[in-house]
Structure 1
């Protein structure tokens, strides 16, 4: 599958910024910022765990983030395809996670997304996240 960027550039820029807002919410561990990118009725496949609705998604994320003192998160869009008020994207991520127990993990991930433009702004309606590479320095 090759990377594709199709549709109006303004919409593609807004979707790219949505991914960046998501990442900023992760780094600052800011619930409101992070929650703002999700549709109320969104679905999230989080490493095989099926979550339904923004409330469940945010609650699960808060539980996961409670395990960390700090997270560095960056993302790079690999594909954004806009078709009217719907879109699909693939976002590559790099994360460094510092756990409360002092251990550190480095993760390369991939989000596969579906989005809709609702009320004049793009939101995630469906996200699937998978780890594609991981390094744990403690394991050598």
Structure 2
């Protein structure tokens, strides 16, 4: 479901697009700028709290890849005032520094807040969907 003002939904889509672009460029600073200071990131490896720790975890993970292609699109965006929830579907091509390339898809359940600097993720919870080719 897509609810709330179109301008906010567009701004949230742009947040998601900036996140995706930063992953593809392996740009930790740009990627980190999409998160709120007190954000929480949940994924198969656990939970990380706070933007600095989230970015440090991401840098360590990305160091193991020669290339990553990350694509994301919203399945739902619901805006209520200065808060929003999103359901985001992803598809990734991962080329590790060691080992064969692999594909991964999954879904993020996201919460975002409007800040003085624009919309930022305050929570992203990833559920992978394994792909067998």
Fold match by TM threshold 0.5: yes
TM-score under structure 1 length normalisation: 0.91
| 4+ residue segments displaced more than 6 Å | none
Partner residue, 2:122? 125
Which whole-Å deviations, capped at 9, do the CAs of 1:27-74 have from their partners, x for residues lacking one? Answer: 000011100100000011122511100011000011110110000111
SS in 1 for 2:26: coil
8 Å contact kept, 1:14–1:122: yes
TM-score under structure 2 length normalisation: 0.96
8 Å contact kept, 1:47–1:128: no
CA distance in 2, matches of 1:30, 1:7: 31
Q: 1:111 aligns with which of 83, 108, 120?
A: 108
Extract unaligned runs of 5+ from structure 2. none
Which whole-Å deviations, capped at 9, do the CAs of 1:46-103 have from their partners, x for residues lacking one? Answer: 2251110001100001111011000011111000000000000010000000010141
RMSD between aligned alpha carbons? Answer: 1.1
Query: Does 2:8 correspond to 1:11?
Result: yes
- Count of equivalent residues: 133
SS in 1 for 2:8: helix
By how many angstroms is 1:134 displaced? Answer: 2.5
